[in-house]
């Protein structure tokens, strides 16, 4: 499911970036008891624009994850990514069949 994963910051907010097995890149953020996960195309950098827009994302409240509202353990992040990845694959498979 996850090919590589790096935690950018663990508190205020928790943020991590990585790559799924299918080659898509993800970003996960947990702040104010809200989880955001976005999937991005392969990053490309030029002098004009270094930001990419998510082509698939989800956001939901999850107050039970963090002890102080903005922290998340790595195990919790992996669990959130696992649940998200199965929904993401289901959605992209469905869209490709239409």
Q: What is the 3-state secondary structure (H, E, C) of the chain?
A: CEEEEEEEECCCCEEEEEEECCCCEEEEEEECCEEEEEEECCCCCCCCCCCCCCCEEEEEECCCCCCCCCCCCHHHHHHHHHHHHHHHHHHHHHHHHC
Nearest Cα neighbor of 16 from 65, 68, 64, 81 is 81
Distances (CA, A) of 40 to 18, 50, 75: 10, 13, 22
pTM of the model: 0.76
pLDDT of 96 over the 60 cut: no
Task: Quote the distance between the C-alpha of residue 73 and its chain's center.
Answer: 14
Averaged pLDDT for residues 84-96: 74
Averaged pLDDT for residues 46-61: 73
Averaged pLDDT for residues 66-76: 74
Of 19-33, 53-67, 68-82, give the range with the top mean pLDDT: 19-33
């Amino acid at each position: 499911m996850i090919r590589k994963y790096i935690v950018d910051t663990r508190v205020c907010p928790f943020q991590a970036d990585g790559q799924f097995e299918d080659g898509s890149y993800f970003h996960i953020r947990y702040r104010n008891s809200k989880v955001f996960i976005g999937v991005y195309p392969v990053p490309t950098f030029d002098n004009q624009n270094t930001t990419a827009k998510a082509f698939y994302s989800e956001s939901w409240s999850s107050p039970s994850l963090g002890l102080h509202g903005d922290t998340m353990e790595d195990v919790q992040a992996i669990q959130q990514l696992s649940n998200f990845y199965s929904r993401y694959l289901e959605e992209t498979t469905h869209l490709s069949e239409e």
